[in-house]
Structures are given as C-alpha cells and as structure tokens.
C-alpha cells in the first residue's frame, strides 16, 4: 500500500515538552488540507531513531494517486492490530500507553519500521504495530 503524505513532523514522546501540542497542530493543519475528504486517513510513524522513547516522524497520509511524498507499507510486513475504543477520552493515547507497556513487559516485539493508525470514515480507529 502506498500512502501520500499530507503533512509530517518529527518529535519525541518523552523529551519534547510540546509533543502533544505539536501533534495536535499537525492534525489541525492536515485536517484543513483534507477538508471534504471522506476516505481513510492514516497517522504513520516511521524514521525511528531507536525505540518508542526516541525521535520519530509522524505523518498524516491518505490513499491517493496525488503526486508528492509517499510512504510504502510493505505487504509482507506482519502487524499486530489494536482496536481503539472511540468512546474513551484520549483513546488513541491510552492505547499507545498499553502498547508501550506490552513492549516493556516483553510481550510485544516491535520492528520499528512503519507503524500506523488507521482512521476510517465510520469513525473506527486501529493501530497497526510492525512486528519483528
């Protein structure tokens, strides 16, 4: 699958004191650029410097044939999929905390290649974690 990048940032979950603001602004800018778009939107995590405690790039992307920067999701990559309860406040962030906890406990072996959040037009949200 090839995704077209709408906008992206580089940040760090633990060392960037403005991380939540920077990510919120990214989604606001991308949302404005995607006004009227009714397809699936992706939050794509790549260019990891180390693990979830290091720097990474977050891109908002869509499936489209537009020109510009693309991110390729390899068909052969295995993923573990986590469904986000959209009724819970900050459900996406809380699911990421669960993912980090599973990794710390040795129950999740992440590849740190390309991970992504999938936001469907029906409001469903899934997080795909690339596995070693």
**Could you tell me the CA-to-CA distances from 119 to 47, 48, 116 in Å, in that order?**
21, 22, 10
What's the pLDDT score for residue 20?
87
pLDDT of residue 76: 92
Mean pLDDT by 10 residues, the chain (132 residues): 94 88 94 91 96 94 81 93 93 94 96 97 95 95
Per-residue pLDDT at 16: 87
pTM to 2 decimal places = 0.92
Note the pLDDT of residue 106: 95
C-alpha–C-alpha distance, residues 61 and 102, integer Å = 27
């Amino acid at each position: 699958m090839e995704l077209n990048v709408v906008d992206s940032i580089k940040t760090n979950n633990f060392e960037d004191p403005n991380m939540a603001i920077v990510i919120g602004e990214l989604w606001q800018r991308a949302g404005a650029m995607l006004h009227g778009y009714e397809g699936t939107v992706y939050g794509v995590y790549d260019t990891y410097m180390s693990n979830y405690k290091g720097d990474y790039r977050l891109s908002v992307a869509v499936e489209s044939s537009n020109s510009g920067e693309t991110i390729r999701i390899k068909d052969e990559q295995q993923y573990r999929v986590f469904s986000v309860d959209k009724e819970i406040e900050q459900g996406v962030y809380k699911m990421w905390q669960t993912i980090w906890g599973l990794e710390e406990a040795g129950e999740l072996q992440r590849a740190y290649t390309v991970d992504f959040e999938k936001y469907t037009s029906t409001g469903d949200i899934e997080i795909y974690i690339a596995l070693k």
